[in-house]
Amino acid sequence: MGTIEANWYDYPQYFDMAFRDETRSERAFLEAVFRKYCLSPVRRVLELGCGGGRLVVALARRGFDVTGLELNRKSLDYARQRLQRRGLRAKLLHADMANFQLRRPVDAAVCTWNTFRHLTTEQSARRHLRSVARCLQPGGVYVLGLHLLPLYVSEQCVERWSARHGRTKVSVTLRVITTDRRRRIEVLRATMRVQAGSRELALRSEFPLRMYTATQFRKLLATVPELELCDVFDFWYDVEHPLKLDDEITDTVFILRKRMPTRRPRANRDRPRAS
């Protein structure tokens, strides 16, 4: 079986299967975050980089009005088919998460599993956060998950796992192959092996990701004052136990909230009485 050099996002049926075991815990965590941090009830939800619709489907099933935004058309087509098969409805938008607009504001936004790090420049990351801030209702939250880079960690990292559904098994290996701390870019190689009955497929994809330490992310967030940091969690999704944002944390989920508008004091329009 030879390995195909291909974009693994072009194979959403297998990509989503690799993460399907996380769906229930992610969905439960998101609902708990909405209840705990949003200042008004959550009805409309936006997922940035929705891929093949794994979370879009899970949230639509729970009755949310979901919008999925994605740049890869094959993933969007697959997400649309999944919704149709299940008799669910959601809005799917082909757009760049670095700069987008919505017709109606949402109550919450979600972006998990390092999708944000595909924005490889400070400018595109800032534009993304500003776009999110524009589309959020005041008091709404943005749940943003990414891996931070601790100060003292090996730059060479390998992660492996597998998932199975029916007769199909997907095995994934993620390997950091180059790291440039000055440019804050690492190149990740993703290898995905699929066994579907008698069919076998091996894919290999390489792509750059932007690197963030805790301090670097704080500096970025400070450039978008509309968003405030409420709490930080890790990928165990324990909403009752926030963590400290420091140089030790790696798997990081930020809870950002759009600030409420400040009210200006009313001017006293009563004229002073003549003495």
Confidence of residue 275 (pLDDT cuts 50, 70, 90): very low
Average pLDDT over residues 49-73: 98
Q: What are the strands, taking DSSP E only, across 198-239?
A: 199-210, 227-233
Instruction: Give backbone dihedrals phi and psi of 135, rounded to 5 degrees, phi first.
Output: -90, -10
DSSP assigned state of 87: T
Q: C-alpha dihedral over 100, 102, 105, 106, to 10 degrees?
A: -80
What are 156's two structure tokens? Answer: 């060479």
pLDDT at 56 over 50: yes
Residue 141: predicted pLDDT: 98
Over residues 34-43, the pLDDT tens digits come to: 999 999 999 9
Rounded mean pLDDT, 251-269: 83
Tell me the domain boundaries of the chain: 8-149+212-258, 158-208
The letter for the amino acid at 244 is K
CA distance 243 to 252: 9
Q: What are phi and psi of 198, to 5 degrees?
A: -90, -5
Q: How many CB atoms lie within 10 A of CB 187?
A: 14
CB 109 within 8 A of CB 129: no
pLDDT value of residue 274 = 44
Query: Could you tell me which residues are beta bridge partners of residue 208?
Result: 187
152-211 pLDDT, tens digit each: 556 668 999 999 999 999 999 999 999 999 999 999 999 999 998 888 999 999 999 999
Report d(CA 19, CA 161) in Å as an integer: 10
Question: At 273, is the pLDDT very low, low, confident or very high (cuts 50, 70, 90)?
Answer: very low
d(CA 194, CA 190): 13
What CATH number is given for 8-149+212-258 in this structure? 3.40.50.150
Q: In this structure, what token pair is assigned to residue 6?
A: 């291909």
pLDDT one-digit tens code per residue, 106-156: 999 999 989 999 999 999 999 999 999 999 999 999 999 999 997 655 666
Phi, psi angle pair for 15, to nearest 5°: -60, -50
Is the pLDDT assigned to residue 217 strictly greater than 60?
yes
Selected residue with higher pLDDT from 155 and 214? 214
Between β-strands 168-180 and 185-196, what pairing exists: parallel, antiparallel or unpaired? Answer: antiparallel
Model-wide pTM > 0.75 = yes
* 183 close to 70: Cβ distance less than 8 angstroms: no
